[in-house]
Structure 1
Amino acid sequence: MKANRKARDENYLAGKQVRDVMINYPKRVDSTITIGQAEELFTDEHVHMLLLVENQQLVGTLLRTDLHNTPLPAELPAKPFSVLNGRWIHADHDAVDLLAWMSTQRIRRLAVADETLNLKGLVCLKRTGTGFCSNADVQGRASSA
């Protein structure tokens, strides 16, 4: 069943780029966020990656695991614990190739940015690994909360 769903989703994605499957208005946080503020945001089970921005520019990403190696004081800035390398992609990347890569690497979230790291969106791999979350999926969860 999963193989059929994956083939269907890959057919649906044929010819599409990341810009066609990304979430257009992901939640962003200011790069001055503290560890305590980040941990508070992570208490929402739907928040998996924080996108740290200065103006519109992506300066880092945070996952829960970036903060949980050792106990950290809540007042520390979170930015030094953020990661940029390997956590963003260009909007013109092929969506089918990205789906396959994210599935094999077990990566569920990637920021989408341009060449100067201006944040454009977020790609979110569905839990099934067969496709991407949509703007409608995100809006539906927000309205049911």
Structure 2
Amino acid sequence: MGTVAEAHLRTPKVHGPDVSVGAARAFFLDGHVHALLLVDRDVLVAVVERADLEGVPDAARARSVGAVTGRVAAPGDDLETTRRAMAARGQRRLAVVDAAGVLLGLLCLKRHGRGFCSAADVAARDADRAAHQVG
């Protein structure tokens, strides 16, 4: 394996910095969603995980319960070291940011923990979901 830059998704879903906890909860209704990325002018301001929302009023700002520390990787980080650390922590998603905090993408560990989701994996899942919603 190489670096995080070789495996991260380059077009993750992002949200503005003022998303409410209620809206974040709705986003997490999709079981494939493990992290909500809050961005302000391309800079990552918080990564919100489902557990962060427990006991927080819907009207609160999701940014207030999210974090960056422990939820990001640099593009030059060793991919195998990062994979092992994510698997050990039970962490499925890491935002990928540059030295200035600009969001570059999202590293998505597959459920089995042995590899990462590709853009093709995500596109296939989105197409399957859309096909099932039409009927």
TM-score relative to the length of structure 1: 0.86
By how many angstroms is 1:104 displaced? 1.8
Question: What do residues 87-109 of structure 1 show as CA deviations (whole Å, max 9, x unaligned)?
Answer: 00100111111112212222111
Question: What do residues 32-82 of structure 1 show as CA deviations (whole Å, max 9, x unaligned)?
Answer: 0001110111111111100000010000010110011x2x32222111111
The alignment covers a number of residue pairs equal to: 129
Question: Of the two, which has the highest radius of gyration?
Answer: 1
What does 1:49-60 correspond to in 2, within 5 Å?
49-60=35-46
Match of 2:59 among 75, 80, 93: 75
Cross-structure match for 1:9: none
What's the secondary structure of 2:106's corresponding residue? Answer: strand
Match of 2:85 among 92, 101, 104: 101
Could you tell me which runs of 5 or more consecutive residues in structure 2 were left unpaired when the two chains were aligned: 130-135
What's the secondary structure of 1:60's corresponding residue? Answer: strand
Asked if 1:89 corresponds to 2:73, the answer is yes
Provide the rounded CA distance (Å) in 1 between the counterparts of 2:47 and 2:87: 20
Provide the rounded CA distance (Å) in 2 between the counterparts of 1:54 and 1:114: 15
By how many angstroms is 1:114 displaced? 0.2
Equivalent pairs: percent with the same residue? 36
Provide the rounded CA distance (Å) in 1 between the counterparts of 2:23 and 2:65: 13
Give the root-mean-square deviation of aligned CA atoms: 0.9
Could you tell me which runs of 5 or more consecutive residues in structure 1 were left unpaired when the two chains were aligned: 1-12
Provide the rounded CA distance (Å) in 2 between the counterparts of 1:45 and 1:104: 21
**Letter paired with 1:59:** V
By how many angstroms is 1:118 displaced? 0.2
Provide the rounded CA distance (Å) in 2 between the counterparts of 1:97 and 1:78: 30
Runs of 4+ with >4 A deviation: none
Cross-structure match for 2:48: 62
Cross-structure match for 1:136: 120
Provide the rounded CA distance (Å) in 2 between the counterparts of 1:98 and 1:126: 13
Provide the rounded CA distance (Å) in 1 between the counterparts of 2:41 and 2:88: 33
What's the secondary structure of 2:85's corresponding residue? Answer: helix
What's the secondary structure of 1:107's corresponding residue? Answer: coil
TM-score relative to the length of structure 2: 0.92
